[in-house]
Amino acid sequence: MTATELPASLMATLPGQHYTDPAIFALEQSRIFESMWFCAVRCDDLDKPGAFQTVQIGRESVLVARDRGGRLNAFLNVCRHRGARLCIEEQGEVKRSLQCPYHAWTYGLDGKLIAAPNLQGMPDVDRSEYGLHRLHLREWLGYAWVCLADEPPSFEDTVIADVSARLGDEGEIDAYDVASLKLGKRIRYDVKANWKQIIENFMECYHCATIHPELTEVLPEFADGFAAQYYVGHGAEFGSDVQGFTVDGSEGVQRIPGVGEHQDRRYYAITVRPQVFVNLVPDHVILHRMFPLTPERTLVDCDWLYLPEVVESGQDLSRSVELFHRVNQQDFDACERCQLAMGSRSYANGGVLVPSEHHIGAFHEWVRERIESTSDGAAR
Ligand code: FES
Ligand code: FE
């Protein structure tokens, strides 16, 4: 049976080629990752002037640095002289300026070219013309979101709208005061799968009963396969004998004070297009950032965030972290297992989506619209 002959109740997925083809990935890089707001770095990771990080956004290496006034700035990580990669390190700290190791052009932390040595006999370089290429940056939830487009889409109509579309009640995420939380744990996962596998997996819960024994103990309704993101404003309720969102259902840590009674003992999962997942529980927030590197490889940085006093007290967070760490491993194993088959003739026309996965169909439609659009950044 081909995709076009499916019964009306079943939807086709994207064909396998969408998960392996470098040409399709290149379109996604330019029309999705380089055109939308991309959650790049955690602001707290750059805690002093001179601290910087480099991240991959689409085809570009991006440098995010804190300047002497305390402001975060984002630039393309490319020297304006002959194009050397300015910073090779993933993170580091400089005193006052960033110096290119090739001919020592030197840039301020605000991106201005401040020195270009040994230019005797050469025409003067107009320093104001050769500063680093600056990118748009917006801080939200304690992260720096960067947009490579010349004219970025509205942050409110894209990133914030994704969150409120899921949570329904406007401002509900504000109750968790995510920007004030501190990093309790970060784990990086190097996933041998296309970024869309990871999103699709996160959006559905059909697989929960099969691969997530610990999670379905804590959230019994997940055993029925209802998608965590299926209903607007629906938080999955903890089981009646569960005390906290931990690997064994034991008590968690201090609850975030703004969390209301209606959000207590509930789990909310949100996908922020194109590469972020936010999970909210009463005592912590789990935020995943994906960095798609190739059609078949994606880095995922997962942050566990708690109240500052919880992190500073040195409390044992291991049972709390372990629950979602196992969920991540179980999910990423499943994504890698699917990725292995994406080049098979058997999947050339794709697969099918059962009814509880129908919102994955909406995600596929969105991806297709983006990559088929002719103007970068215009479509939403
Ligand atoms: Fe950077 Fe020459 S390439 S100073
Ligand atoms: Fe899962």
- Across the chain, which has 380 residues, the per-10-residue mean pLDDT values are 57 95 98 98 97 98 97 98 97 96 95 84 74 98 98 96 79 90 98 98 92 96 71 84 97 96 91 96 98 98 98 97 98 98 97 87 95 63
C-alpha span between 201 and 197 (Å, rounded): 6
| 92 alpha carbon – ligand 2 mean position (Å) | 34
Residue 84 beta carbon below 6 angstroms from any ligand 1 atom? yes
Q: Which of 270, 289, 290 is nearest to 280 (CA)?
A: 270
The reported pLDDT for the residue numbered 231 is 66
Domain extent listing, the chain: 39-147, 169-371
Neighbours of ion ligand 2 (CB under 5 A): 331
Selected from 3.40.30.10, 3.40.366.10, 3.20.20.70, 3.90.380.10, the CATH number assigned to the domain covering 169-371 reads 3.90.380.10
Q: Which residue has the tokens 């439609």?
A: 365
* Full DSSP string of 25-58: HHHHIIIIITTS-EEEEEGGGS-STTEEEEEEET
Residue 269 beta carbon below 6 angstroms from any ligand 1 atom? no
Residues 6+ apart with CB under 8 A from 187: 301, 302, 321, 325, 328
39-147 matches 169-371 in fold: no
Note whether 377 and 158 are within 8 A (CB): no
Residue 262 beta carbon below 6 angstroms from any ligand 1 atom? no
The reported pLDDT for the residue numbered 378 is 43
Residue 85 beta carbon below 6 angstroms from any ligand 1 atom? no
| 81 alpha carbon – ligand 1 mean position (Å) | 5
To the question of domain 39-147 being in CATH 3.40.1710.10, the answer is: no
Ligand 1 atom 3: residue of nearest CA: 82
Residue 81 beta carbon below 6 angstroms from any ligand 1 atom? yes
C-alpha span between 324 and 330 (Å, rounded): 10
C-alpha span between 2 and 10 (Å, rounded): 12
| 205 alpha carbon – ligand 2 mean position (Å) | 6
The reported pLDDT for the residue numbered 357 is 84
| 120 alpha carbon – ligand 1 mean position (Å) | 16
The reported pLDDT for the residue numbered 234 is 79
The reported pLDDT for the residue numbered 359 is 85
Mutate to test the pocket of ligand 1, among 63, 75, 80, 81 (most ligand atoms within 8 A of CB): 81
Ligand 1 atom 4: residue of nearest CA: 103
Q: Which numbered ligand comes closest to the C-alpha of 79?
A: 1
In ligand 1, the atom with minimum distance to the C-alpha of 83 is: 3
Residue 102 beta carbon below 6 angstroms from any ligand 1 atom? yes
Residue 103 beta carbon below 6 angstroms from any ligand 1 atom? yes
Residues 6+ apart with CB under 8 A from 378: none
In ligand 1, the atom with minimum distance to the C-alpha of 84 is: 3
Give 248-253's long-range contacts (Cβ < 8 A, gap of 24+).
248/214, 248/319, 249/217, 249/218, 250/319, 252/281, 252/282, 252/283, 252/284, 252/320, 253/283, 253/284, 253/306, 253/307, 253/310, 253/315, 253/317, 253/320
Note whether 24 and 133 are within 8 A (CB): no
The reported pLDDT for the residue numbered 284 is 98
Q: Complex ipTM, two decimals?
A: 0.97
